[in-house]
Amino acid sequence: MSDIAAVSASARAGAGVASPASSSADNGELTDLLDLSKHRLSTVKERAPSNSERWMRYLGFPGGVLLFLALYFMPPPAGLTAAGQSVIACFMLALVWWITEPFPTYVTSLCLMLLLVFLDGWQMEKVLGVLGMDVIWLNVMAFVLASILLKTNLAKRLALALLVKFGKGAMPTLFAFFLLQLALAPLIPATAARTIMTLPLMLVVAAIYGASAEKPTNFGRNLFLQNLLGINIFSSAFMTGSVANIMAIAFIMNMGGKKVYYSDWMFANLPVVLVVMLIAWVIGPKLLFRIKPEETKLRIAGGPAALADFLKKMGPMSAAEKRGALIFGLVVFLWVTDRFHMGWFGFEINPVMAAMAGVILTFLPKIGILGWNEADIPWHLMIFSCGAYAGGMALESTGAARWVISKVFDALHFGPGVNFWLVYVVVIAVMAYSHLFFTSKTMRTIILIPFIIAIAQQLGFPALSLALPAAFTIDWVVGLPISAKPNVILFTTGQYSVLDNAKYGVLMTTIGVIVLALAGFTWFRVLGITPGF
């Protein structure tokens, strides 16, 4: 029997190694909880909607249709193409349906793609071409890699170790993930890569706390949404956190004439990000998605001691685990060392290709670990993502997103003599919330940062004072499941709805804007970014 078949058999038994719990009646409950084969992401989950959700579904469909008709049939606004108007109408319809869910989200995505083509918003070739985008490929590769960790017990082992060390309750567990994401952010700039690495741990921890797609709990909501927030906004703490950050710096240097160093960026924004994350860590479980007392405890008899016992009984790593760790380690190594690739190989291996290399190894006979059927790829999510990206890209390519932003600034009528702090707060808010209408951080940066520099120059403010704080919000893409790659990946788990994401994301964006505004009055003044009074 081949290696793959052997692993497959053990995986079906619930573990890649002989399950230590199977011989112990004490932790049979834990074994059951950790049987992640029950929680396949590729299976569309079912759950009972609450009363308010049923009302939203009922009113969401006609509400979306009416909004669509109003936007589509209104007189064409100046400066907007007919295609741009169609795309805005279609996207808003989809946005309402994604949030209220009269249909499953992937059906809404298909409707959006169809409407974009039928209403001449975006050409069919481009709409269909989204399936070939790197983000979709990265998602596919990500789920195969995550399957390695889940099938070989590595995820269980790591998650248990994390919980034994920090997980004395819900809050410390959430804090442990806070630290984990903080530690990974400067090492691995690619947010999707960090998501892939930590998703299996989240799944195991969620299972131990009794949160699943079938029975979502507030602990699960907090766990996944806090990680979503952390993965995204920790990127904004470092200048190299994303390509868009670097582009913003280039604009500030070329158009604003100011050079910004790595340390300038980090000293300014890392404290802001830490404050926002700390607030989120408290507000999420205590206010927004209140964790019930029964959710704060481990769903196993014996509590943390049972976890430690289980971990001990897992024994040393199996051969499959070691191979899994090796393959995953290789991919992570390529992600972490991306800046050295050019020197080593003469070319740069981008995160998708690094993941693809790992996936090839995963499926190879003898060396590999998984068979195709064991790779848990949620194709319904890919369809959802395609629709979402098609809508977002159509908004950008028809100039609709640019038009919306320019209209917002036009409506504000900033003129000479306007108070700097008013402009500062408005600019930060527009930049932060604009992620709801963009799917690309790069495009958002290209459109907004030069705009903001021009506003600063027109009003006689230093370009840096507005553009740099605005650039700090580039990675705050937390409002919707379509706002960024990590959001799409985490949404697959079914642990929260689009509405949950929107509520959490908009609240945290608002908190971010407030903290950045306060930092502008204080910390940024000390650093000389914003002017004195």
Partner 1 sequence: MRPTSPVPLSLLLVGTLAALLMPGQPCLATEISALSQRITVDEAGTGLVEVEVTVIAPTPGRILVPLGFGGAQELQVGEQPGVAVTLEKSGGRPCLAIITDRAFPQGQTVKARYTLPGFYEWNGKKRSDFGNHTLEYRFVNSQALPIVAFVAEVLLPPAYLVNSVEDSIPELNEKTPVAPFRVVRVGERSGVRIRASKLGLGDTCMVQFRFKRNAKPVGLLLVGLAAAALYLFAFRDLIGKQPNGRGVAPGGGMAQTG
Q: How far is the CA of 69 from the CAs of 74, 458, 511, in angstroms?
A: 8, 38, 34
Q: Considering the complex, state which of residue 107 and residue 319 has its C-beta at the smaller distance from partner 1.
A: 107
Nearer to partner 1, 44 or 187 (CB): 44
Size of the site for partner 1 (CB under 8 A): 57
In the set 337, 450, 511, 525, which binds partner 1 (CB under 8 A)?
450
Is residue 449 close enough to count as binding partner 1 by CB under 8 A?
yes
Judged by CB under 8 A, which of 37, 57, 350, 407 binds partner 1? 57
91 belongs to the binding site for partner 1 (CB under 8 A): no
Q: Which stretch binds partner 1 (CB under 8 A): 198-206, 260-268, 398-406, 417-425?
A: 398-406
Closer residue to partner 1 in complex, CB, 25/78: 78
Q: Tell me, residue by residue from 162 to 201, as one string, x for binding to partner 1 by CB under 8 A and - for no binding.
A: ----------------------------------------
Helix (H) / strand (E) element for 254: namely: helix 243-256
- Site membership for partner 1, residue 105 (CB under 8 A): yes
Least separation in angstroms between residue 245's CB and partner 1 is 15
Q: Does 102 bind partner 1 (CB under 8 A)?
A: yes
Q: How far apart are CA 420 and CA 530, in angstroms?
A: 9
Residue type (1 letter), 484: A
Residues 6+ apart with CB under 8 A from 372: 363
Please report whether residue 66 would count as binding partner 1 according to CB under 8 A.
Answer: yes
Question: What is the C-alpha separation between 279 and 445, in angstroms, rounded?
Answer: 26
Task: List the one residue from 303, 304, 399, 531 that touches partner 1 (CB under 8 A).
Answer: 399
Q: Which of 3, 13, 20, 81 binds partner 1 (CB under 8 A)?
A: 81
- Return the residues of window 245-274 that contact partner 1 according to CB under 8 A: 251, 255
Name the residue among 353, 218, 352 with its Cα closest to residue 286. Answer: 218
SS (H, E, C) 109-142: HHHHHHHHHHCCCCCHHHHHHHHHCHHHHHHHHH
Q: Which residue stretch of 77-85, 259-267, 343-351, 422-430 sits at the interface with partner 1 (rule: CB under 8 A)?
A: 77-85
**493, 501, 509, 530: which one binds partner 1 (CB under 8 A):** 493
- Shortest Cβ distance from residue 224 to partner 1 (Å)? 12
Nearer to partner 1, 239 or 498 (CB): 498
Judged by beta carbon, residue 97 or residue 209, the one nearer partner 1 is: 97
For 240, half-sphere exposure in the C-beta direction (CA atoms, 13 angstrom radius) is: 11
Cβ-based neighbours of 411, under 8 Å, separated by 6 or more: none
CB of 399 to partner 1, least distance (A): 7
The single residue among 69, 179, 278, 326 that binds partner 1, judged by CB under 8 A, is 69
Shortest Å distance, C-beta 276 to partner 1: 28
Would you say 84 or 462 has its CB closer to partner 1?
84
Cα separation, 17 vs 35, whole angstroms: 13
Nearer to partner 1, 120 or 410 (CB): 120
- The verdict on 46 binding partner 1 (CB under 8 A) reads yes
What is the rounded distance in angstroms from the CA atom of residue 246 to the CA atom of residue 310?
45
CA distances from 131 to 43, 381, 385, 444 (A): 20, 11, 9, 22
Is residue 408 a contact residue for partner 1 (CB under 8 A)? Answer: no
Q: Which of residues 305-364 bind partner 1 (CB under 8 A)?
A: none
CA distance 240 to 236: 9
- Element containing residue 465 per DSSP (H, E): helix 463-471
Q: Does 129 bind partner 1 (CB under 8 A)?
A: no
Tell me the C-alpha distance between 446 and 139, whole Å.
Answer: 25
Among 20, 28, 29, 61, binds partner 1 (CB under 8 A): 61
Under the binding rule (CB under 8 A), the answer on residue 432 touching partner 1 is no
Of 220, 170, 205, the C-alpha closest to 504 is: 220
Residues contacting residue 73 through CB under 8 Å, at least 6 positions apart:
none
Q: Beta-strand (E) ranges in 258-410?
A: none
Distance CA 269, CA 341 (A): 28
CB of 233 to partner 1, least distance (A): 24
Q: Does 52 bind partner 1 (CB under 8 A)?
A: no
Question: CB neighbours (10 Å) of residue 230?
Answer: 28
Phi, psi angles (nearest 5°) of residue 147: -65, -35
Binding mask 369-388 for partner 1 (x = CB under 8 A): ---------x-xx--x----
Interface of this chain with partner 1, residues 11 to 30, rule: CB under 8 A: none
Q: Does 215 bind partner 1 (CB under 8 A)?
A: no
Nearer to partner 1, 356 or 447 (CB): 447
Cβ within 8 Å of residue 319, ≥6 positions away: none
Start-end of H helices in 346-419: 351-363, 379-397, 400-412
Interface residues with partner 1 (CB under 8 A) are 41, 43-49, 53-55, 57-58, 61-62, 65-66, 68-69, 72-73, 76, 78-84, 101-106, 120, 213, 251, 255, 378, 380-381, 384, 398-399, 402, 442-443, 446-447, 449-450, 491-494, 497
